[in-house]
Amino acid sequence: MARTEQLEHEAVSPGPTRFALRRMTEADIPQVMDIERDSFPSMWPKTAYSRELKNKLARYFVLVEKGREEHDDAPAEGGLRKKLRRLLRAEGEAPPTRRLIIGAVGIWLMVDQAHVVTIAVREAFRRQGAAGLMLIATVELAMVEGMDSVTLEYRRSSEPARALYDRFGFLAVGARPQYYSDTKEDAIIMTTPPLRSKSFQEKFLRLKGQHERRWGETYGLPESYW
């Protein structure tokens, strides 16, 4: 089930921010789960990230703020919560990363199509270009992997999500009636035109350039991808 509805509506730029993308690790899971709970509070079941990171068809990335080495501005965990996390952590599991995670994106590579299964941004960092940056990464990843297209779903009521996907060249191709179990809301299916088509590549490069000029970003797939 795709979780893509909680995205920023990039109407006002608060000034350039600097983000870095890297592969998700086991140590990132506690922060990513916090972002997922905030973005999709009624979602069930929760994503089994430990299992997903072992899925050969899946690619998961996290977005971090460059230069912020420590998880300084996140609420401090209380003693009981910290103790419970330590007790529940499986033997040999990596301790949580201390670097602040801004957002996360997950993609499944399904034969010739890349499917976005989740994309979410920490609330304090929405409307700063983070979702757009992760969507750019998804399209570039699909191109590197030789996929024909990128597909995803979003809640029919989520106009910010629709605006973002429209802007990056996704087209509505269908619907899944009552797809979301919490509200019985329909999911709208969107997909890109063929990634190898000259028209899409020209549009994508133009949109990527606009994103970089607006948000002050220079971007490429993380070295750790390979």
Which residue of the set 153, 179, 180, 217 is catalytic? 153
Helix (H, G, I), strand (E, B) or coil at 31: helix
Q: How far apart (Å, rounded) are the C-alpha atoms in residues 115 and 152?
A: 6
What are the DSSP calls for 107-143, one per residue?
Answer: EEEETTEEEEEEEEE-GGGTTSSHHHHHHHHHHHHHH
Q: How far apart (Å, rounded) are the C-alpha atoms in residues 119 and 92?
A: 28
Whether 165 is catalytic: yes
Q: How far apart (Å, rounded) are the C-alpha atoms in residues 23 and 221?
A: 10
Whether 5 is catalytic: no
Helix (H, G, I), strand (E, B) or coil at 23: strand
Which residue of the set 49, 154, 165, 179 is catalytic? 165
Pick the closest to residue 108 from 141, 73, 66 (CA basis): 141
Angle of helix 130-144 versus helix 198-215 axis, rounded to 10: 150
Alpha helices in 70-197 (DSSP H): 79-88, 130-144, 159-167
Q: What is the residue whose two structure tokens read 């003693």? A: 79
List residues with catalytic annotation: 153, 165
